[in-house]
Amino acid sequence: MSIQKPTLPKGTRDFGPQVMAKRNYILDTIKSTFKLFGFQQLETPSMENLSVLTGKYGDEGDQLLYKILNSGDFLKKVTAEKLSKGSNAVLPLVAEKGLRYDLTVPFARYVVMNRNDITFPFKRFQIQPVWRADRPQRGRYREFYQCDADVVGTDSLVCEAEIILMIKRVFSELKLNDYSIKINNRKILTGISEVIGEPGRESDLCVSIDKLDKIGWEKVREELEQKGFSEASIEKLGPIIDMGSKDKFEFLQIFLASSEVGLQGLNELREVFDLLGSFKEDEEFVDFDVVLARGLSYYTGAIFEVKVNNVSIGSVSGGGRYDNLTGVFGLEGVSGVGFSFGVDRLYDVLEELELFPEESLKSTTLMVAHFGEDALSHGLNVLTEARKLGISAEIFPDDAKMKKQFNYADKKNIPFVIIIGSEEIKSGEVTLKNMESGEQRQMGLQEALKQIKQSV
Nearest approach, Cβ of residue 341 and its own copies (Å) = 18
307 in Cβ contact with 315 (< 8 Å): yes
Q: Considering beta carbons, is residue 3 or 254 the nearer one to its own copies?
A: 3
DSSP E strands: which ranges in 205-356? 286-288, 302-308, 315-322, 336-341
- CA separation for the pair 262, 378 (Å, rounded): 76
Nearest approach, Cβ of residue 133 and its own copies (Å) = 4
Q: Considering beta carbons, is residue 113 or 215 the nearer one to its own copies?
A: 113
Q: Is 124 annotated as a binding residue?
A: no
Residues in contact with 275: Cβ distance below 8 Å, sequence separation at least 6, in sequence order: 157, 158, 160, 161
Q: Considering beta carbons, is residue 131 or 299 the nearer one to its own copies?
A: 131
Nearest approach, Cβ of residue 126 and its own copies (Å) = 10
Q: Is 387 annotated as a binding residue?
A: no
Angle at 32 between CA 31 and CA 38, to 5 degrees: 90
Distance between the two ends of the chain, CA-based, in angstroms? 50
Q: Is 109 annotated as a binding residue?
A: no
Q: Is 210 annotated as a binding residue?
A: no
176 in Cβ contact with 355 (< 8 Å): yes
Distant-in-sequence contacts of 307-315, Cβ < 8 A, 24+ apart: 307/179, 307/180, 307/182, 308/176, 308/178, 308/179, 308/349, 309/178, 309/179, 309/180, 310/178, 311/348, 311/349, 311/352, 311/353, 312/348, 312/352, 313/139, 313/345, 313/348, 313/349, 313/352, 315/342, 315/345
Nearest approach, Cβ of residue 112 and its own copies (Å) = 6
Q: Considering beta carbons, is residue 212 or 391 the nearer one to its own copies?
A: 391
139 in Cβ contact with 108 (< 8 Å): no
Q: Considering beta carbons, is residue 90 or 355 the nearer one to its own copies?
A: 90
R_g over Cα of the chain: 28
Q: Is 345 annotated as a binding residue?
A: no
Q: Considering beta carbons, is residue 294 or 321 the nearer one to its own copies?
A: 321
Nearest approach, Cβ of residue 27 and its own copies (Å) = 11
Nearest approach, Cβ of residue 435 and its own copies (Å) = 14
Of 236, 277, 276, 238, the residue nearest 259 (C-alpha): 236
Q: Is 132 annotated as a binding residue?
A: yes
DSSP assigned state of 359: G
Q: Considering beta carbons, is residue 91 or 257 the nearer one to its own copies?
A: 91
Q: Considering beta carbons, is residue 71 or 454 the nearer one to its own copies?
A: 71
Of 271, 319, 293, the residue nearest 186 (C-alpha): 293
Q: Considering beta carbons, is residue 249 or 279 the nearer one to its own copies?
A: 279
Q: Is 454 annotated as a binding residue?
A: no
- CA separation for the pair 140, 340 (Å, rounded): 16
Residues in contact with 196: Cβ distance below 8 Å, sequence separation at least 6, in sequence order: 233, 234, 236, 237
Which residues share a beta bridge with 434? 416
Whether residue 357 is preceded by a cis peptide bond, meaning omega within 30 degrees of 0, is: no
Q: Considering beta carbons, is residue 5 or 403 the nearer one to its own copies?
A: 5
237 in Cβ contact with 196 (< 8 Å): yes
- CA separation for the pair 322, 332 (Å, rounded): 12
Nearest approach, Cβ of residue 340 and its own copies (Å) = 19
Nearest approach, Cβ of residue 448 and its own copies (Å) = 17
Q: Is 442 annotated as a binding residue?
A: no
Q: Is 103 annotated as a binding residue?
A: yes
Nearest approach, Cβ of residue 104 and its own copies (Å) = 13
Nearest approach, Cβ of residue 74 and its own copies (Å) = 5
- Write the DSSP string, 184-245: EEHHHHHHHHHHTT-TT-HHHHHHHHTTHHHHHHHHHHHHHHHTT--HHHHHHHHHHHT-TT
Query: Could you tell me which residues are annotated as the binding site for L-histidine?
Result: 102-104, 132, 146, 150, 294, 298-299
Query: Could you tell me which residues are annotated as the binding site?
Result: 102-104, 132, 146, 150, 294, 298-299
